[in-house]
């Protein structure tokens, strides 16, 4: 695990855009494709807007990019709460990515049917590995962090945290809203996982995830531990404020 503390949310977004572009170019050169799972929430939106700007867009081999999502709200794609919709408006509609390479979770469908359909999409990604992998392997998974310690739509004490065989499941947020989420084994199979966290309101949970008692059922972000890949935390100074000096660097 590595940690980078940036001065503010703007600097965090710029660094995240660099990480995305570098990962895309490296994966395209090595395997002919770049498979990324995107995150919802407010923090990644600044990153997504940057990806549409020429300084980053021209560095990314869009025709070799495959986009997926780490989680989704069970709403239509044009709903303001849609993770897909936020990413589409921020950058997807502005860049030359093939529509067939954008694999959204179909939040407007019955949640269980949507989860099963996305599982088939992920099985197709797993078959692209040489040799074929039993689990889909993302080149990059972007994650956020909730104040309750959730990541993707893996909420504290959710049965989804115990899932070992499924790639995508339907789940329920604490407010009762239906969600879709990748499972822990899929996230942990990624070549690189990047957490993006900003804001003073996240400082306490950041410290708990990294330095607190290990209890992944209560703090789901602690379950993220790539088996063979790299994990990077990109934090702004406010989010890192309660970390020990040794971790803040």
Give the start-to-end residue ranges of the domains of the chain: 2-248
Q: What percent of the chain has pLDDT over 70?
A: 100
- Write out pLDDT tens, residues 116-159: 999 999 999 999 998 999 999 999 999 999 999 999 999 999 99
Q: Which CATH architecture group holds 2-248?
A: 3-Layer(aba) Sandwich (3.40)
- Write out pLDDT tens, residues 28-85: 999 999 999 999 988 899 999 999 999 999 999 999 999 999 999 999 999 999 999 9
User: Which residue's entry shows tokens 């498979």?
Assistant: 35
Query: For residue 42, what pLDDT is reported?
Result: 85
């Amino acid at each position: 695990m590595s940690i980078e503390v940036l001065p503010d949310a703007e600097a965090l977004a710029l660094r995240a855009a660099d990480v995305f572009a570098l990962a895309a170019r490296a994966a395209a050169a090595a395997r002919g494709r770049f498979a990324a799972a995107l995150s919802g929430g407010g923090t990644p939106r600044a990153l997504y807007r940057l990806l549409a700007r020429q300084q980053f867009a021209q560095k990314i081999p869009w025709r070799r990019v495959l986009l997926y999502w780490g989680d989704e709200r069970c709403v239509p794609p044009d709903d303001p709460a849609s993770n897909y919709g936020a990413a589409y408006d921020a950058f997807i509609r502005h860049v030359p990515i093939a529509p067939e390479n954008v694999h959204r979770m179909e939040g407007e469908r019955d949640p269980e049917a949507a989860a099963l359909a996305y599982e088939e999409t992920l099985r197709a990604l797993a078959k692209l590995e040489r040799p074929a992998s039993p689990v889909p392997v993302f080149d990059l998974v972007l994650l956020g962090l909730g104040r309750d310690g959730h990541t993707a739509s893996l909420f504290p004490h959710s049965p989804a945290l115990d899932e070992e065989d499924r790639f995508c499941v339907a789940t329920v947020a604490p407010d009762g809203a239906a969600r879709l989420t990748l499972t822990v084994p899929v996230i942990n199979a990624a070549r690189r996982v990047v957490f993006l966290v900003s804001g003073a309101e996240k400082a306490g949970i950041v410290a708990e995830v990294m330095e607190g008692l290990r209890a992944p059922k209560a703090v789901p972000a602690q379950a993220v531990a790539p088996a063979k890949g790299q994990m990077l935390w990109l934090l702004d100074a406010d989010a890192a404020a309660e970390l020990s000096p040794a971790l803040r660097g």
